[in-house]
Amino acid sequence: MKYLVLIPDGMADRRVTELDDMTPMQRAYKPCMDSLAKESLVGTVNNVPVGMVPESDTANMSILSFDPKVYSRGRSPLEAVSMGIEMQSDETAFRCNLVTLSEEQDYENKIMIDHSADEITTEEADQLIKALQEHFGNDQRKFYTGVSYRHCLIWKNQPDNYPFMRPHDILGQCIKEHLPVSEGGEEYYAFMKESYEVLKDHPVNLARKARGLRPANSAWLWSPGKKPTLPSFSEKWGIRGAVISAVDLIKGIGLCAQMQSIDVPGATGNVHTNYEGKAQAAIDAFKSGIEFVYIHVEAPDECGHRGEIENKVLSIELIDQKILKPVLEYLNECEDDFKIMVLPDHPTPIEIRTHSSEDVPFMLYDSRKVYPGVEYFDEYTARQTEIHIEHGHDLLDMMIEKDAETTASAQPTDNGQKKKSGIPAAIFDYLEIFAVSIAAVLLIFSFCARLCRVDGESMKNSFEDGQMLIISDLFYTPDNGDVIVFHQTEGFQKPLVKRVIAIGGQTVELNFAQKSIIITDTTTGAQVDYSDEFAVYYNETKTDFGQQYEWRDNLNEQKVNATYDSATGTYTFEVPEGMLFVMGDNRNYSGDSRMLGFIDERTVLGKALIRINPFTVYFD
């Protein structure tokens, strides 16, 4: 069996006005993907765990079956591995972007023009990184050239959890509010500010400006992390794997998992990459005996960041015609069975020019089977199938087939007794199976699980009014992002279904005007951003309990002992041990901890495991 996974990075999108309210996936002419989709298992998947930033490191690690909650150490250490950097335990890797800032006199008042400096060439970037090394490098700091604008700084005796802002998230914005000026960031800010003076008049940048290109006039640090480790892919799955990508991050994931990383000449990480070379590299890998090939193409993501609508459509078409088509033709000519999975790692919507947390479409083609499929492969047809995978690291369980040892003998084992045969025996066997199944179901629902009905719209779009949930509290401890059912007597006669936002020992920073929810672990200092996780904002006001509530702007400060910062509009409070802070996904139409206060863990009836109609499994 041969396995191909094709990742058009950031391919998923939202409707674009300039494309007649179509997404780039819908507009693109992709006959190969669409023909496979007609006979494929098609659905949606969430590759980024709840509470984690929708970045390519977490998403691709997840697709390759490694739970980012367990293994993620940030993207920079993975890129360092790809560059051949042998990190020590006292070293921290930082992504060092070469960016274009506007030319205002004061550094803090500059605008983030371009996170990629017009996709500066690697040759030009290498000269700038060498200039930074000459100026800043010492026995504590060393700079390494990567690809295009993506580079690495290794810095000794630095923490790995400073909350830098990602440059591609603030395009067109003043950098003042996003600089590392909070406690612990002073050295980083000083470096970034001084880097502007080092780079702005460098001959490389003067030449770029003369050619009408944007200068790479500042370094921007983000995504720190320590030395990474991953389990062996081949030991986990029993097959050999290879990754093909222009991006150091993806190469690093593969190398950490002891997969082969295949370099392709001319692979640039943008729309002008060597598509044909990637296809041929995959074919050659299969011919060499590698069973699993993972092709990652950065082009759609970069086009999304740059707001290039037509180029994003074009990149999808080129991936379809110049990568998928020739590899499929080769696989069809082979005698081996094969499977193909196509999916983006995360969306990179043109509208916001950065990554988002929506689910992404996937399709799984099996050369031996015909699934009902869809007419065209895009974000909306995938949602309509109502097939949803909650955790991306479960995807390969659906795709890769492990060999099972034969445990049953072909010889009779009835101690000389004759086996029952004929129709009466068959009826008896079916009745026996039916009776055992009923007994098993009764045992499960008596001791392990129970049914619960969703009432109302507070969990839209995750759950709809009237849907049934199977919940369980067996060996269960609430965690961030879990959907739980709990008793609540204050104003409610029935158990409530909500999502756990924060657990005991965590601090919540809630800003209604910005629709922002930041969770901080008071023990480790680790932060996660829940602002957009699952949230929708239907029904701006709701009438209930005899008065009108504006749920988005309604917090009972006394019940959560919150402090309010009038300058920022932020409420801050800590969740006591043994308590939970919960919210409905439909943030404007939910009675939850904002009015009820904290929820006692002892009132939790269980975690939602399975949604019935449509059927979705929520196992962690």
Which position has the higher pLDDT, 213 or 418? 213
The domains located in the chain, with CATH, are 2-69+231-399 (3.40.720.10), 80-225 (no CATH), 451-617 (2.10.109.10)
Residues in the chain: 620
Whether a cis peptide bond, with omega within 30° of 0, leads into 461 is: yes
DSSP output for 198-239: HHTT-HHHHHHHHTTPPP--EEEEEEEE-------HHHHHSS
Beta bridge partners of 362: 43
d(CA 499, CA 487): 14
Q: What is residue 415's predicted lDDT score, i.e. its pLDDT?
A: 39
Whether the per-residue pLDDT at 430 is higher than 90: the answer is no
Nearest to 450 by CA among 614, 608, 616: 608
List phi, psi (to 5°) of 80: -60, -40
Indicate the pairing of strand 388-389 with strand 41-45.
Answer: parallel
Which position has the higher pLDDT, 286 or 466? 286
Token digits of residue 56: 């390519």
pLDDT digits (tens, 9 = 90+) for 84-107: 999 998 999 999 999 999 998 899
Contact indicator for 272, 261 with CB cutoff of 8 Å: no
Q: What is residue 550's predicted lDDT score, i.e. its pLDDT?
A: 43
Instruction: With cut-offs at 50, 70 and 90, classify the pLDDT of residue 338.
Output: very high
**Section 199-212 average pLDDT:** 97
Q: What is residue 542's predicted lDDT score, i.e. its pLDDT?
A: 40
Instruction: With cut-offs at 50, 70 and 90, classify the pLDDT of residue 594.
Output: confident
Contact indicator for 99, 118 with CB cutoff of 8 Å: no
Contact indicator for 223, 158 with CB cutoff of 8 Å: no
Whether the per-residue pLDDT at 249 is higher than 80: the answer is yes
d(CA 165, CA 179): 7
Whether the per-residue pLDDT at 436 is higher than 80: the answer is no
pLDDT digits (tens, 9 = 90+) for 464-515: 877 888 888 777 889 988 999 887 655 555 788 999 999 999 999 988 888 8
Q: What is residue 588's predicted lDDT score, i.e. its pLDDT?
A: 75
Q: What is residue 539's predicted lDDT score, i.e. its pLDDT?
A: 47
Q: Is 224 exposed, middle or buried (0-12, 13-18, 19+ CB in 10 A)?
A: buried
CA atoms within 13 A on the CB side of 95: 27
Q: What is residue 592's predicted lDDT score, i.e. its pLDDT?
A: 84
Q: What's the distance, Cα to Cα, between the start and end of the chain in Å?
A: 28
Q: Is 135 exposed, middle or buried (0-12, 13-18, 19+ CB in 10 A)?
A: middle
Contact indicator for 13, 358 with CB cutoff of 8 Å: no
pLDDT digits (tens, 9 = 90+) for 47-78: 999 888 888 999 999 999 999 999 988 889 99
Percent of all residues in the chain with a pLDDT value above 70, rounded to a whole number: 86
Contact indicator for 254, 241 with CB cutoff of 8 Å: yes
Whether the per-residue pLDDT at 394 is higher than 50: the answer is yes
Token digits of residue 200: 């702005």
Judged by average pLDDT, the poorest of 49-63, 275-289, 385-399, 585-599 is: 585-599
CA atoms within 13 A on the CB side of 357: 16
Whether the per-residue pLDDT at 416 is higher than 70: the answer is no
∠ CA 319-321-327, nearest 5°, is: 85
Whether the per-residue pLDDT at 108 is higher than 60: the answer is yes
Nearest to 378 by CA among 39, 45, 34: 34
∠ CA 368-398-359, nearest 5°, is: 120
Which position has the higher pLDDT, 392 or 620? 392
> Cα–Cα distances in Å, from 216 out to 222, 304, 368, 460, 499?
16, 20, 51, 44, 43
List, in order, residues 6 or more apart from 357 with CB less than 8 Å away: 48, 54, 346, 532, 533
Residue with tokens 């991050």: 249
Whether the per-residue pLDDT at 459 is higher than 60: the answer is yes
Beta bridge partners of 185: none
Instruction: With cut-offs at 50, 70 and 90, classify the pLDDT of residue 620.
Output: very low
**Section 23-34 average pLDDT:** 96
Whether the per-residue pLDDT at 356 is higher than 50: the answer is yes
Question: What integer best gives the mean pLDDT of the chain?
Answer: 86
**Section 284-304 average pLDDT:** 97
What is the phi-psi region of residue 120: left when phi exceeds 0, alpha when psi lies from -120 to 50, beta otherwise?
beta
pLDDT digits (tens, 9 = 90+) for 531-578: 765 666 554 444 333 333 344 456 888 889 999 888 888 999 999 999
pLDDT digits (tens, 9 = 90+) for 125-138: 999 999 999 999 99
Q: What is residue 619's predicted lDDT score, i.e. its pLDDT?
A: 45
Instruction: Tell me the residue ranges of DSSP E strands in 87-240.
Output: 91-101, 112-114, 141-147, 150-156, 218-225
d(CA 146, CA 369): 42
Nearest to 188 by CA among 214, 155, 215: 155
Percent of all residues in the chain with a pLDDT value above 90, rounded to a whole number: 63
DSSP state for residue 361 in the 8-state scheme:
E
